[in-house]
Amino acid sequence: MCPPEHFEVSYSINPWMEPDKPTDAPLALVQWDRLRARLVSLGHRVDVVPPRPGLPDMVFAANAATVIDGRVLAARYRHPQRSGEEPAYQAWFAEHGYPVRQAGFVNEGEGDMLPTGARILAGTGFRTDHRAHAEAADHFGLPVVTLHLVDPYFYHLDTALAVLDHEEIMYYPGAFSPDSQALLRELYPDAILADEADAAVFGLNAISDGEHVLLPQSAVHLTESLRAAGFTPIAVDLSELLKAGGAAKCCALELRESLPSTERRREPS
């Protein structure tokens, strides 16, 4: 994670960003720190990457890379406003002993690459180049499933879909092309489906450890669905960061040492 010490909305690279609207960097930092503290309280280790001036979106650490089995496929951003984040995060990985491969095509990390137990779900349509999907498959040795995003308000896969546990997901069908909707129904017939209202408050931009799911407090229907499925939803407020088009998942990049091989057992409540 990276604290939003330099957070602001000074440019617009997605429909959520309106530079004319005021932002509150101290409030963003308070909300971010509450998220970090909650993850720590749940037993997770949180490594903090130092923020750099002039990179207001560096807080969205999930976009920096994809990490599986301790190997890093580093991001290559589509928009030049974010390109300065690339060397910042790559330097951190190198300093901490992670082998890093630089992306050959536009690839916005876990924004569009969501590993599950058996595969990588990969988004394209607005940010990540579809050719980056084959690159990820080659680097990690996992099958990659391409999903086409069609709504600019859901410009990254992690705004429209969340991996909850080994081969369990939730998603908003309206964010995807008809073919991708059909593919998701085939692969995940028991997935939790979000309605437009919960998707619009970034309810799918959630962090799950297979038991607890941290998601925006305003995603009330998803919260009910998660609880019914045996998960423990935890409400978080990241309303200030939403002004830049990000929420809980955007703020955290998972440093996977390995992918899960078995599904955790939960009893529905």
Residues marked as catalytic? 156, 250
> Is residue 25 pLDDT above 50, yes or no?
yes
Determine, yes or no, domain membership for 53.
Answer: yes
Q: Is the pLDDT of residue 147 over 60?
A: yes
The answer to whether residue 228 sits within a structural domain is yes
Residue 223 backbone dihedrals phi, psi, to 5 degrees: -60, -45
Q: Is the pLDDT of residue 166 over 90?
A: no
What is the model's pTM? Answer: 0.94
pLDDT interval class at 233 (50, 70, 90): very high
Asked, for residue 80, whether it belongs to a domain, the answer is: yes
Lowest-pLDDT range of 18-32, 101-115, 245-259: 245-259
What digits encode the pLDDT tens for the residues 48-93? 999 999 999 999 999 999 999 999 999 999 999 999 999 999 999 9
Q: Does residue 144 fall inside a structural domain?
A: yes
DSSP 203-234: TTS-EE-SSEEEEETT-HHHHHHHHHTT-EEE
Q: Which domain holds residue 33?
A: 25-251
* Among 178, 128, 119, residue whose Cα is nearest residue 155: 128
Query: For the chain, what is the domain count?
Result: 1
For residues 179-186, give the mean pLDDT: 98
Q: Are 149 and 171 in contact (CB under 8 A)?
A: no
Structure tokens at 80: 């030049």
What CATH number is attached to the domain comprising 199? 3.75.10.10
β-pairing, 65-68 vs 207-208, is unpaired
Q: What is the average per-residue pLDDT within 36-47?
A: 98
- Is 20 a member of any domain? no
DSSP class of residue 51? Answer: P
- For residues 85 and 146, give the distance between their C-alpha atoms in angstroms, rounded to a whole number: 25
Q: Is residue 269 very low, low, confident or very high in pLDDT (cuts 50, 70, 90)?
A: very low
pLDDT in tens, 183-220: 999 999 999 999 999 999 999 999 999 999 999 999 99
When pLDDT is cut at 50, 70 and 90, the band that residue 257 belongs to is confident
Q: Is residue 268 part of a domain?
A: no
Q: Kindly state the percentage of the chain with pLDDT values over 70.
A: 96
Q: How far is CA 247 from CA 16, 131, 230, 240, 266, in A?
A: 12, 27, 23, 9, 26
Neighbours of 76 (CB within 10 A): 20
pLDDT for 259 equals 54
Average pLDDT over residues 16-42: 97
265 found inside a domain: no
Is 107 contained in some domain?
A: yes
Write down the mean pLDDT value for the chain.
95
In percent, the amount of the chain with pLDDT more than 90 equals: 94
